[in-house]
A and B are shown apart, each in its own frame.
Chain A
Amino acid sequence: MDRVTFGRIIKGGFVNFFRNGVVSLATVLVISLTMFMLGSVLVGGIFLNGVISNLEEKVDITAYFKLDTDERDILEVKSNLEKLPDVKGVVFVSRDEALNKFLERHKGDELYMKTIEIVGDNPFPASLEIQAVDPSRFEAISVFLESGRFQNLIDEKSPGIKNISYRLNQSVIDRLSVILRTIKLVGFGISLILALIALMVAYNTVRLAIYSSKDEISVMQLVGASRSFIRGPFLVEGVIHGVISALFTIVAFYPLLLWAGKRTAGIFGGIDIYGYYVSYIWQISFILLLVGIAIGVLSSALAMRRYLKV
């Protein structure tokens, strides 16, 4: 195809788009709606992933050691823990650090300061903060601590009960994480079905628009236009529809997510959907643009096929 013909096809697409005014607008709206559905699935997915991993990062185990434990022993425990496949990371908090943290946290609080003074010595044990790969692996880690050769190093709350604390109760975390995953799956499923329906509507809108041009298409063929010369402008129009719809959608998400973000900020430990959207804006825009163009062009191409047969 030479440059002149290519230019004519591009121009034809734009001319069609503007001369079809109302139909173009309707098509753009329907495709936008489709993209909006798809976008919601995308943003929702990213958001829920964020919530889940955020939650999982909060899942950690703290093991407190007896006050007289040698630091070298604790570090040995640490390096042993780090070898476990269930462990994501281990942070050592020495007695001094624990004290400093406490003082930091209760700065200016007379009562606490006095208590520390009265006790005189540093009352805080050294500890290891252990992050599990997965909340369900808690059990294995605590078994390792409580029954291994280090068990004697670990402080006891009361005889027989080791001082190991879970920052969040394991079963709660487990349940929450299951619920979130279910929400993600079900939500994804429903949105996907809705998006598919929207996709069908978009395709049918495009098809209807092309159907109304079917006589034109056959005349074009009869006066000697090649199939690609006829199809070209329709595909260009599809690209225009897709790009405008994508831009529409990207812009429409801003106020919506700002609102949704404010409403949900308190629920999931301050994760901000709007923030997620803004920080992923390039990736999301790119995907929406691709999807929009794909919907516009594929709908046109598919709808064209049956009218190019004269």
Chain B
Amino acid sequence: MIYFDNVSKVYSPTSIALEDVSFSIAPKEFVSIVGRSGAGKSTLLKLLLAEESPSSGSVFFESHNIHKLSRKELPFLRRKMGVVFQDYRLLPHRTAYENVAFALEAAGKSEDDIAHDVQQVLELVGLMDKAWHFPHELSGGEKQRAAIARALVVAPEVVIADEPTGNLDPMNTWEIVRLLEKINDLGTTVILATHDKEIINYLKRRVLTIEKGKLVRDEAEGRYVL
């Protein structure tokens, strides 16, 4: 489903974010990406989303070379992915509700569907009471949950989550992790970048370990080792 073929990303000579990374992810897999800060986790996810282009190598999603897609095709690819950004990236002039609704509006869904789906995911992440707050009126954890809701609402084929629990208390963290597990059980591929040792050890799923831009381990039932 997803295939990284000898991908390197060099931002500048002093920051080589990824070097010759190759791996593939099958549908319905739950893959964690671990590595120290600055190892290149976010870069890897950005390449998958075509936010950045690789310096060399190619990235495939369902046999499409992502970086060869036209500007017209790209949005359709992105609608198959639900992304939780490390820094949330909510639209500041829109309420939590509108942020979650945006992706559906962009995809041309009807108002009724949108009202129904948005309500459902907001309840799922426990943000219904703050639905009409703007991002600056939300706490870090609430923003993170709004970002998760936005990623889930499009019913994506793959959920890409970059440290989705970074700002959550233990209770909320486990709720999110269980949510991701549940989504995965229902057939959605999940890619999770995280520092959190406990989560990795709890999940007992496939782990890709990145060190200084290189893929150093790829274990089917990995533990957090650094």
Q: How distant is the Cα of A152 from the Cα of B93 in the complex, in angstroms?
A: 89
- Asked whether, in the complex, the Cβ of A215 is within 8 Å of the Cβ of B89, the reply is yes
- Asked whether, in the complex, the Cβ of A221 is within 8 Å of the Cβ of B108, the reply is no
Residue B78 contacts which of A2, A215, A223 (CB distance < 8 angstroms)?
Answer: A223
- Asked whether, in the complex, the Cβ of A223 is within 8 Å of the Cβ of B106, the reply is yes
- Asked whether, in the complex, the Cβ of B72 is within 8 Å of the Cβ of A16, the reply is no
Which residues in A have their C-beta under 8 angstroms from that of B49? 222
Chain B residue nearest in CB terms to A8: B105
Interface size class of B (residues with CB under 8 A): 20 to 34
State whether the Cβ of B83 lies closer than 8 Å to any Cβ in chain A. Answer: yes
State whether the Cβ of B116 lies closer than 8 Å to any Cβ in chain A. Answer: no
Bits for B101-113, please: 1 = Cβ < 8 Å to A, else 0.
Answer: 0110111101100
Which residues in B have their C-beta under 8 angstroms from that of A16? 93
Task: Check A225/B106 contact, CB under 8 A, given A4-B111, A310-B51.
Answer: yes
**Residues of A within 8 Å of B, CB-based: how many?**
21
Bits for A219-231, please: 1 = Cβ < 8 Å to B, else 0.
Answer: 1111111110100
Which residues in A have their C-beta under 8 angstroms from that of B78? 221-224
Distance in angstroms from B16 CB to nearest chain A CB is 22
Which residues in A have their C-beta under 8 angstroms from that of B150? 223
Residue A223 contacts which of B50, B102, B108 (CB distance < 8 angstroms)?
Answer: B102
The residues in A between 262 and 276 inclusive whose CB is less than 8 angstroms from any CB of B are none
Which residues in B have their C-beta under 8 angstroms from that of A221? 74-75, 78
Chain B residue nearest in CB terms to A310: B51
State whether the Cβ of A73 lies closer than 8 Å to any Cβ in chain B. Answer: no
Which residues in A have their C-beta under 8 angstroms from that of B91? 216, 219-220
Distance in angstroms from A151 CB to nearest chain B CB is 81
Task: Check A216/B93 contact, CB under 8 A, given A222-B83, A226-B75.
Answer: yes
Q: How distant is the Cα of A220 from the Cα of B91 in the complex, in angstroms?
A: 8
- Asked whether, in the complex, the Cβ of B93 is within 8 Å of the Cβ of A224, the reply is no
Q: Shortest 6 CB-CB distances between A and B: which pairs? A: A225-B106, A224-B79, A224-B78, A223-B103, A226-B75, A219-B89
